[in-house]
Amino acid sequence: MMKTNTVTNDLEQFVLENTGNSINKWKHYFEIYDRHFSRYRGADVHIVEFGVCHGGSLQMWKTYFGPSARIFGIDINPECKKLEEENIDIFIGDQEDRAFLRSLAKTIPRIDILIDDGGHKMNQQIATFEELFPFIDENGIYLCEDLHTSYWEKFGGGYKKNGTFIEYSKNFIDYLHAWHSQNPKKLDVTDFTKSVHSLHYYNSILVIEKRKTVKPSCIETGTARVSKYKAKKKWWKKWFK
């Protein structure tokens, strides 16, 4: 019989054993984090998390990534400033305030991973993405979580409603494929196309992995081939010319 409730990785282990500052995450997130973040463990990595709350998740990142990691937390609640400690810096501000976001981009020396676990309202998620995505390292990761709020009215959500983060991010699929556009007036290669390697949608999480890309090219090798298939003319076509 398949086991359920098994611990998937060190992050989940940390949370299950946590007796320190409170952490609030959905259980299935830990596998996703580890899948995308594990390559940074032990490295000199800069992690930015919007949404500090009680500070538990910042401590979780600090333990997971190790002593060379620098963790930056952002929250609208001034009380959160008290949660600063070695390798954890906290900035107070509103993630919907674009001037604040621009000042953050100047203050934080480099962003390898950004996790948006802030207010989860549509304009907050979109403003944070628009202002800070260009500042993510060229091999870095942007992760926006709790995307289910795109379906919740009190957060500004609704199924296929204009302006939700889910609807907004559906355009990313087009931008990723802009190299193949046959209508550049409508869809052309942008910085997004040239800097994004992949989009990973999970239940309530979007992970965007950055990597410099060039126009895709196709290769064919080997010499053995079969003759090409030629579609037969449909017998009835001549009657309907």
- Cβ nearer to ligand SAM, comparing 33 with 40: 33
Determine whether 39 is exposed, middle or buried from the number of CB atoms within 10 Å of its CB (0-12, 13-18, 19+): exposed
Contact between 71 and 51 (Cβ < 8 Å): no
CB of 39 to ligand SAM, least distance (A): 22
Segment 82 to 141, residues that bind ligand SAM, using CB under 6 A: 94-96, 117-119, 124
H or E segment and range at residue 135? none
| C-alpha–C-alpha distance, residues 16 and 6, integer Å | 11
CB of 231 to ligand SAM, least distance (A): 56
| C-alpha–C-alpha distance, residues 172 and 198, integer Å | 10
Q: Which one of 7, 16, 20, 24 is in contact with ligand SAM (CB under 6 A)?
A: 24
Q: Which one of 75, 112, 116, 131 is in contact with ligand SAM (CB under 6 A)?
A: 75
- Cβ nearer to ligand SAM, comparing 44 with 79: 79
DSSP string, 156-220: T--TT-TT-HHHHHHHHHHHHTGGG-S-TTTS---HHHHHEEEEEEETTEEEEEE----------
- Cβ nearer to ligand SAM, comparing 97 with 209: 97
120 is catalytic: yes
Please name the residues in contact with 191: beta carbons below 8 A apart, sequence gap of 6 or more. 134
CB of 163 to ligand SAM, least distance (A): 16
Choose the catalytic residue: 120, 148, 180, 200. 120
Stretch that binds ligand SAM, among 48-56, 83-91, 155-163, 165-173 (CB under 6 A): 48-56
Residues belonging to the active site: 120
Footprint of ligand SAM on this chain (CB under 6 A)? 23-25, 49-53, 56-57, 74-77, 94-96, 117-119, 124
